[in-house]
């Protein structure tokens, strides 16, 4: 395969485009996951593939492994790693053109000239994209793959959705587009591609570690857990790759007799994962979503009606849905006896409660626990209500609830 490796300077900004963003990362020691590798045969046949999951589920690793396998079998692989600065039309178009040119040197020259001369790329980007797609439709005769990593970093860019929607609509049949994102993608062609069977969707549940994969990951660090300990680890992490990796490193230093206790208190002991979530994920979230979740996390489940009553706001359901759209590990729980509620990943729940301990005043926290208790009592969920009064350190409310609700 032809590969153009020279560095290019983008005349429009005077910035050098970073070549490593156009190269798949090399992760030789990464766990090879047969079920996910097997999906590549389906990816080869479909127009688009979306890999959507929160941070730390191994999206980039999977894409890099796919890229290596595709390259080994002779396919042209065009790679693009994104960061937040690429949301500007000029840089996004420049990196997209160069991603193709790195493996397909006969495409994109006209698009590049137009890119550097256009007066207003927010308006004129279709001219650049049209020139690029014209070349791609003419030149690509064999299977070619465009892999775009970290799409969520540019999702709100002024031309992002329209540009990738156009790319998906007009790509030649031999071009397959693979996109990873922490958030669900919103662009016009996706429902149609799904209906036509031209879309492969890989989500968090598909990326969660299986029992066998978790055991292999642990074995690589010299850790072997018994069946009960392994079950507990998977229960506490829900197969979250990053969490299991960090646990494996820590368990090497834990005596065998103490491993069960360590796993039981996993959220409290994994300082590294808390730091990662705080810096890589939490700081990137809208303040109103974080503030709502921090207070809602005082309860065991995220019940929109309950949260709205306790916090005195009407947008709880909308903010929870927004959290899901932003890629947070929030799972819908359908109860037979009550309206839909949600559940956070256990480690996220611990992170938010730790944040609440730092940032919500002591008296406010006690009052919120009381409000949750009263609201839960009204809904007949006495056990949860009593837990809230205990957390509020309010023996009077606890005694009253027991007297009124539990004792004849």
Q: What is the CATH number of the domain that holds 360?
A: 1.10.10
Note whether 135 and 260 are same-domain residues. Answer: no
Q: Which of 84-98, 118-132, 350-364 has the lowest mean pLDDT?
A: 350-364
- In the predicted model, what is the mean pLDDT of residues 248-276? 74
How high is the pLDDT of residue 276?
60
Q: What is the distance between the alpha carbons of residues 183 and 170, in angstroms, rounded to a whole number?
A: 24
Contacts of 226 (CB under 8 A, 6+ apart): none
How high is the pLDDT of residue 396?
93
Q: What is the distance between the alpha carbons of residues 280 and 272, in angstroms, rounded to a whole number?
A: 12
Contacts of 360 (CB under 8 A, 6+ apart): 294, 295, 368
Which of 204, 154, 169 has its CA nearest to residue 50?
204
Note whether 233 and 93 are same-domain residues. Answer: no
pTM for the model stands at: 0.76
How high is the pLDDT of residue 280?
62
How high is the pLDDT of residue 5?
41
The answer to whether position 4 is within a domain reads: no
- With b meaning 16 or more CB within 10 Å and e meaning fewer, what string describes 324-337? eebbbbbeeeeeee
Q: Which of 105-114, 259-268, 349-358 has the lowest mean pLDDT?
A: 259-268
Residue 292 forms beta bridges with which residues?
none
Contacts of 9 (CB under 8 A, 6+ apart): 15, 16, 17
Note whether 155 and 51 are same-domain residues. Answer: yes
How high is the pLDDT of residue 295?
94
Note whether 148 and 13 are same-domain residues. Answer: yes
How high is the pLDDT of residue 7?
47
Note whether 52 and 26 are same-domain residues. Answer: yes
Note whether 175 and 84 are same-domain residues. Answer: yes
How high is the pLDDT of residue 218?
92
Q: What percent of the chain has pLDDT over 90?
A: 56
Q: What is the distance between the alpha carbons of residues 294 and 287, in angstroms, rounded to a whole number?
A: 10
The answer to whether position 274 is within a domain reads: no
Q: What is the distance between the alpha carbons of residues 272 and 237, in angstroms, rounded to a whole number?
A: 14
pLDDT tens readout for residues 143-175:
999 999 999 999 999 999 999 999 999 999 999
Note whether 332 and 369 are same-domain residues. Answer: yes
Residue 198: pLDDT over 90: yes
Q: Among residues 189, 207, 225, which one ends one of the domains?
A: 207
Note whether 150 and 233 are same-domain residues. Answer: no
Q: Which of 200-209, 220-229, 267-276, 317-326 has the lowest mean pLDDT?
A: 267-276
- The residue segments making up the domain with residue 369 are 284-406
Structure token pair of residue 286: 């809208």
- Continuous segment of H or E residues that includes residue 173: none
Q: What is the distance between the alpha carbons of residues 158 and 93, in angstroms, rounded to a whole number?
A: 12
The answer to whether position 336 is within a domain reads: yes
How high is the pLDDT of residue 333?
72
Residue 8: pLDDT over 90: no
- In the predicted model, what is the mean pLDDT of residues 212-235? 92
The answer to whether position 55 is within a domain reads: yes
The answer to whether position 1 is within a domain reads: no
The answer to whether position 125 is within a domain reads: yes
**pLDDT tier, 15 (very low <50, low <70, confident <90, very high otherwise):** low
Note whether 127 and 44 are same-domain residues. Answer: yes
Residue 43: pLDDT over 70: yes
192 vs 343, residue with greater confidence? 192
How many domains, the chain?
3
The answer to whether position 187 is within a domain reads: yes
Most confident by average pLDDT, 54-58, 261-265, 305-309, 314-318: 305-309
**Mean pLDDT in the chain?**
87
Note whether 249 and 380 are same-domain residues. Answer: no
Residue 41: pLDDT over 50: yes
Residue 226: pLDDT over 80: yes
Q: What is the distance between the alpha carbons of residues 366 and 18, in angstroms, rounded to a whole number?
A: 51
Q: What is the distance between the alpha carbons of residues 291 and 275, in angstroms, rounded to a whole number?
A: 18
The answer to whether position 152 is within a domain reads: yes
**pLDDT tier, 10 (very low <50, low <70, confident <90, very high otherwise):** low
166 vs 401, residue with greater confidence? 166
Note whether 180 and 229 are same-domain residues. Answer: no
Q: What percent of the chain has pLDDT over 70?
A: 90
Note whether 254 and 343 are same-domain residues. Answer: no
How high is the pLDDT of residue 278?
61
> At 200, is the secondary structure helix, strand, or coil?
strand
- In the predicted model, what is the mean pLDDT of residues 10-16? 58
- In the predicted model, what is the mean pLDDT of residues 247-268? 80
How high is the pLDDT of residue 341?
80
Answer for the pair 147, 24: CB distance below 8 angstroms, yes or no: yes
Q: Among residues 175, 207, 239, which one ends one of the domains?
A: 207
């Amino acid at each position: 395969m032809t590969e153009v490796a020279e560095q290019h300077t983008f005349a429009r900004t005077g910035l050098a485009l970073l070549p490593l963003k156009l190269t798949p990362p090399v992760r030789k020691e990464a766990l090879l996951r047969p079920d996910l590798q097997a999906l590549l045969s389906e990816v080869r046949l479909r127009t688009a593939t979306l890999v959507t999951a929160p941070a730390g589920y191994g999206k980039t690793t999977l894409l890099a492994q796919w890229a290596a396998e595709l390259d080994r079998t002779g396919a042209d692989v065009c790679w693009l790693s994104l960061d937040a600065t690429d949301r500007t039309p000029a840089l996004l178009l420049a990196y997209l053109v160069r991603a193709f040119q790195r493996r397909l040197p006969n495409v994109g020259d006209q698009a590049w000239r137009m890119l550097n001369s256009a007066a207003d790329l927010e308006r004129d980007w279709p001219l650049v994209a049209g020139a690029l797609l014209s070349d791609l439709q003419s030149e690509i005769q064999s299977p070619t793959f465009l892999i775009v990593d970290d799409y969520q970093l540019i999702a709100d860019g002024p031309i992002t959705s329209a540009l990738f929607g156009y790319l998906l609509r007009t790509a030649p049949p031999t071009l397959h587009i693979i996109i990873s994102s922490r958030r669900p993608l919103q662009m016009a062609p996706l429902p149609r591609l799904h209906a036509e069977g031209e879309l492969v969707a890989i989500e968090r549940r598909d990326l969660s570690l299986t029992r066998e994969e978790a055991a292999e990951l642990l074995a690589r660090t010299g850790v072997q857990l018994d069946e009960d300990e392994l079950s507990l680890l998977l229960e506490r992490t829900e197969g979250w790759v990053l969490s299991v990796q960090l646990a494996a490193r820590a368990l090497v230093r834990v005596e065998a007799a103490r491993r069960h206790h360590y796993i039981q208190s996993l959220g409290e002991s994994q300082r590294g994962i808390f730091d990662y979530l705080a810096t890589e994920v939490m700081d990137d979230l809208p303040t109103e979503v974080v503030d709502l979740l921090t207070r809602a996390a005082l309860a065991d489940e995220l019940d929109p009606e309950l949260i709205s009553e306790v916090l005195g706001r009407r947008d709880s359901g909308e903010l929870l849905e927004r959290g899901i759209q932003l890629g947070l590990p929030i799972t819908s729980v359908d109860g037979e006896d009550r309206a839909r509620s949600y559940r956070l990943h256990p480690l996220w729940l611990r992170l938010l409660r730790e944040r609440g301990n730092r940032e919500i005043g002591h008296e406010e926290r006690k009052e919120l626990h009381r409000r949750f208790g009263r609201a839960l009592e009204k809904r007949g969920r006495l056990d949860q209500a009593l837990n809230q009064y205990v957390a509020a350190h309010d023996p009077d409310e606890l005694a009253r609830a027991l007297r009124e609700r539990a004792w004849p």
